[in-house]
Amino acid sequence: MLGKDYLYHVDNNIIRVQNVSKQYDGQEVFGVRNISFDIQQGQIVAIIGESGSGKSTLLKSIYGLLTIDEGSVLFKGKRVLGPEEQLIPGHKEMKMVTQDFSLNIYAKVYDNIASALSNTDVKSKHEKTVQMMQHLHIEHLSAKKITQLSGGEQQRVAIAKALVTDTKMLLLDEPFSQVDALLKNQLRADIKRIASETGVTVIMVSHDPADGLFLADNLLLIKDGQLLQQGEPAHIYNHPEHVYTAQILGNAVVLNKEQAEILGLHVEGAQAVFYPEWVDLKGSWNSRRFEVKDVYYKGFYEELLLERNGVSIRAIQLNRGEHKKNDHVQANIGRFLSF
């Protein structure tokens, strides 16, 4: 049984990144440092990290656009060649969509997508182009020029162009940075649907965890070129291995030991960490009195800035307007992590 599972696991690996390091010429810090992970076929993978953390370097290394210093990237078990090892840099079965989309802005949507296909079979070229436009819900834009499209529409065209050539792996570098909040939701849902319909494996990188957290099957968090944690988004969120992870993913409250003790939290390490939604705003035997210092409007909820004996925390308030500035509330930190 164990052996069979193991084989299944190996067969399903589309990408294996092994101890990859890249240091750019003349730079003291690493672009990426000793990164290893596997990606299963058909997964949506999100790589989250601050600007400059090495996300683009990692994507380019996977795609074969960068000469890496150490380690290797395997695509279906075969090493991905670097730019100096082949005529056209990049892997045939992968496509990368960057923020600038690289479309021919004066050409029509249809022609942009069709141009990725060869002319050997004109009928199939037409069929594939139309089918891909349907997948991405852009048939109605077929005759429009790229200059006439919104940022979100352009992005769909770029993704359609990337996928039309039987692409097995789609690499998206900051895919949502150009689009507004409403469209983001739709594009996220689109990517999920397209991945499940076509079986394409997707890696997307973003500095905004909201882009990846709830979409991805697999989340990788990187900082200063190093992989901090990898796993299912909900697991990483609830069980962060580093304080930084909780801060970047959920804007966690971080207290030092002394502050934690003032609030009655007994930490084993040096810090107590919790998300604002882990704070219960209700009176119970172990709740304490806090003063509401400020209320931040967040749409369908509010975030309260609370203070007790000089220690500030934040809590989520779903019933808007229930507690106002200068009120006193009972709050209990229902769960916290010790670091």
53 near ligand ADP (CB under 6 A) = yes
212 near ligand ADP (CB under 6 A) = no
Buried b (16+ CB within 10 A) or exposed e, 45-79: bbbbbeeebbbbbbbbbbbbbbebeebebebeeee
Work out how close the CB of 254 gets to Mg ion at its nearest, in angstroms, rounded to a whole number: 27
Work out how close the CB of 72 gets to ligand ADP at its nearest, in angstroms, rounded to a whole number: 19
28 near ligand ADP (CB under 6 A) = no
State how far the alpha carbon of 197 is from the alpha carbons of 138, 140, 160, 164, in Å: 16, 21, 13, 13
Work out how close the CB of 207 gets to ligand ADP at its nearest, in angstroms, rounded to a whole number: 7
Work out how close the CB of 174 gets to ligand ADP at its nearest, in angstroms, rounded to a whole number: 8
31 binds, among Mg ion, ligand ADP, none (CB under 5 to 8 A by kind): ligand ADP
Work out how close the CB of 308 gets to ligand ADP at its nearest, in angstroms, rounded to a whole number: 38
Residues 166-205 that bind ligand ADP (CB under 6 A): none
Work out how close the CB of 228 gets to Mg ion at its nearest, in angstroms, rounded to a whole number: 17
Secondary structure class of 70 (helix, strand, coil): strand
49 near ligand ADP (CB under 6 A) = yes
Stretch near ligand ADP under the rule CB under 6 A, chosen from 26-34, 112-120, 151-159, 292-300: 26-34
230 binds, among ligand ADP, Mg ion, none (CB under 5 to 8 A by kind): none
The answer to whether the CB of 145 falls within 8 A of the CB of 105 is: yes
49 binds, among ligand ADP, Mg ion, none (CB under 5 to 8 A by kind): ligand ADP
Q: Which residue's CB is nearer to Mg ion, number 216 or number 313?
A: 216
Q: Which residue has the tokens 């369908």?
A: 300
Which runs of consecutive H residues, i.e. helices, occur in the chain? 2-12, 55-63, 109-114, 122-135, 151-163, 181-198, 209-212, 233-238, 243-250, 257-262
55 near ligand ADP (CB under 6 A) = yes
Q: Site for ligand ADP (CB under 6 A): how many residues?
A: 12
Q: Which residue's CB is nearer to Mg ion, number 48 or number 337?
A: 48
d(CA 195, CA 93): 15
27 binds, among ligand ADP, Mg ion, none (CB under 5 to 8 A by kind): ligand ADP
Conformation bin of residue 34: beta by default, left when phi > 0, alpha when psi is -120 to 50: left
Q: Which residue's CB is nearer to Mg ion, number 144 or number 223?
A: 223
56 near ligand ADP (CB under 6 A) = yes
33 near ligand ADP (CB under 6 A) = no
29 binds, among ligand ADP, Mg ion, none (CB under 5 to 8 A by kind): ligand ADP
129 near ligand ADP (CB under 6 A) = no
Q: How many residues does the chain have?
A: 339
Report long-range pairs for 207-210 (Cβ below 8 Å, ≥24 apart).
207/48, 207/49, 207/50, 207/51, 207/53, 207/55, 207/174, 208/48, 208/176, 209/48, 209/248, 209/249
Tell me which amino acid residue 123 is: K
Buried b (16+ CB within 10 A) or exposed e, 107-136: ebbbebbbebbeeeeeeebeebbeebbebb
Stretch near ligand ADP under the rule CB under 6 A, chosen from 53-61, 146-154, 158-166, 276-284: 53-61
Nearest to 66, CA basis, from 23, 15, 19, 95: 23
Binding site for Mg ion (CB under 5 A): 55-56
Contact set with ligand ADP (CB under 6 A): 24, 27, 29, 31, 49, 51-57
